[in-house]
A and B are shown apart, each in its own frame.
Chain A
């Protein structure tokens, strides 16, 4: 069933039983014909939503999308009323992903631009090999906590993990945080033990510029999910950053 509200240029698609290839082809078609917003109902595991769509498009997803949502995405805004699976935001260049739920593994792998907001917890290796480049500084804000290898190989960008849902005094559970990290920054609200951090990672207190960044990102996060920004900014934030931009500089016999 497809309904098009012509005045609003909004298309509604019932995705029940529609194969991803056909669904994504329909999205491309619709956008080519001037549709600005697509509401996708009954999404059940269809992959690659948001890939190969132009920047100004908005997707509203109801259900559980499949892996690689927003892979190579270059601008669209995707809001998911449900949980994300693995590999979402893979090599993303621009755009926004907002998940009213949790996300799986390798979220934002090698992403270079854009923002991802996840209300609840995230899986393993989130933000792995994130990059930054000139004005492009990608950001991932996670409401809950993360599994191990958060920010592994991180080469740029900002990761914020707010630790909502952790009990008073409870540590984040991730180990190997920032293993191989050589650029970028991770902000953790709550506590971690030194042994949970990769050996390339140093711990600092956020400075005024960091707080400004945090206020802006956390403010955006709170806006998406209806939280109070000041509440989220309360508590101790740790700034994790690489001790060296060349963690593997002394490997070779020149």
Chain B
């Protein structure tokens, strides 16, 4: 089934390239997204066949990411149909093909059970998503795509160096590991420690660049600011989760080598640093799409921080990854609607979104309340779990700093979001005929419904999947 979730989107991409009509082509997206979702569910429902390690296999964290990516893409594909109907000014052949190829490559990451193969998969996501960024063909979006490519490829290069170091660590320890993750984990205790440390840092920096944790986040504000809303949703909810998956897998190897304490220290530091940087840039941010980018930096920080906080933290991290992916979908899609209606993304010109676009405005506001971790929405539950994990270990400074940064983010984002949704539409914004349509509001509404439900209770299958990951990571028993 692994190949099906990779090949179905690639076939879709080929079909999108072959179709001639710009009008009909977007319907390919939901069709193949649905097929991908079905294949994903079948793959998840079937038990893993045994019989030794394989190059393509779905491990416990991979299952969650695959499901998240598939659901998010399915929702975004419906939105894409409505969006592309409004964008008759631009041909969408490359856009549709790249979207589907991007989905295929993200699925590839979740299935790649080999250090080198995973690297290749992550590299190809950069390639397939760069054209999505310059869909608008403006000088600004070209600049954003250029930055994305440059920073992204330096990250990818460092990740390759890290992978080589990990291989060398096995060699210097007297092993010849096959680089399949199962083998790496089994032989990890014998690895050369110094090289393993170097490998972990390089891989964290490399894949952290794709994830967008500070200080490697510089591509993010430009990319999210210039990309269409639905691309932002897929990058912030899908691709960053895939990059986090890569970091989880590397962390797993390091834990197996008995170096969990070393890795955790770095993860906690990087996480808090990202939150601090995001907070600093969120205050007085006037561009509401760039605001979302910094919010993403903050949440990626929370993820790596949580991964460094032991089993309870890891549970929170995985739950938060899912919640963040869903909320980012709500935020980016509704922000895209507002951007389209006002033809501006600056609070200098945009105000009164609630009056002009009642549903999108309300969703944007609700998304803000959810994304900053306020009850009753899902991110509150996961952030609370993470905070609890920090306090449960007696790490009051870490918990305290996390609370302070969350507060700064809340205040900073609040000012921008309220300026967008409240008041009357100002005369400075252009009047456009855009209004809320069923297909532009239904996708974010569905995601918002998920976020609300997950806030009230975590569905048992999801909880079971996350508990699998915590078991999979195999933390050493620690005394509280």
| B is bound to A | no
List B residues at the A interface (Cβ < 8 Å): none
